[in-house]
Amino acid sequence: MNLFTKAKVFILFVAFLIVAGCVFTACSTPSQNPDSTLESSIDNGVEVVYFHRLNRCYSCTYAEDKVRYTLDTFYSDEMADGELVFMAVNVQDDANAAISDKYGAYTSSLYMNKVVNGVDHIEPVTGIWFLVGNDQEFVDLVKSEIAERL
């Protein structure tokens, strides 16, 4: 390999590391603050919360679209009953600071919160980022994560 080719490979490797770092930091564990004054939107049920930034990439819009599709297609009754709630939240909007802090979100990420008698059980759903572009597996993962909490 000549020097020019090695430089291109190195640049691609560094770019890959940066992108991978962004994806994996989006999947960080939330800080669960039991003293949080922000109440859940339900007393018993599941909150599905998709956090995004103002400028959104393909993966970010894909994720929200497929989560919405899954909810509308397979859980419309639960949503109508209020047992399942979906929120899409811009983490860069100051008006959403409290909910972003509650979930520990700071970039594109999906969280599910099983609320039992008003007590939050918040967990990130990190596997979605490995399934972007694979519609069936993405939907199946989201369905199973919701079913596990209902």
> So where are the chain's domains?
3-34+41-149
Question: Per the structure block, which two tokens stand in for 3?
Answer: 């020097």
User: Is residue 115 within 8 Å of residue 42, measured between CB atoms?
Assistant: yes
The token duo for 80 is 């109508």
Cα(47)–Cα(76) distance, integer angstroms: 14
Between the alpha carbon of residue 100 and those of residues 51, 139, 140, the distances in Å are 8, 24, 26
pLDDT for the residue numbered 6: 62
Spatial distance between the Cα atoms of 27 and 73, rounded to a whole number of angstroms: 25
Neighbours of 125 (CB within 10 A): 21
Q: Is the pTM of this model over 0.85?
A: no
Residue 28: exposure state from Cβ atoms within 10 A (0-12, 13-18, ≥19): middle
Could you tell me which CATH class the domain 3-34+41-149 is placed in?
alpha beta
Joined together, the tokens standing for residue 139 give 């939907």
Q: Which residues pair with 124 in a beta bridge?
A: 111
Contact 89, 38 (CB under 8 A): no
Sign of CA dihedral 40, 45, 51, 56: negative
The pLDDT tens digits along the chain (150 residues) read 666 566 565 565 544 545 555 454 444 333 343 334 456 778 899 999 999 999 999 999 999 999 999 999 999 999 999 999 999 999 999 999 999 999 999 999 999 999 999 899 999 999 999 999 999 999 999 999 999 999
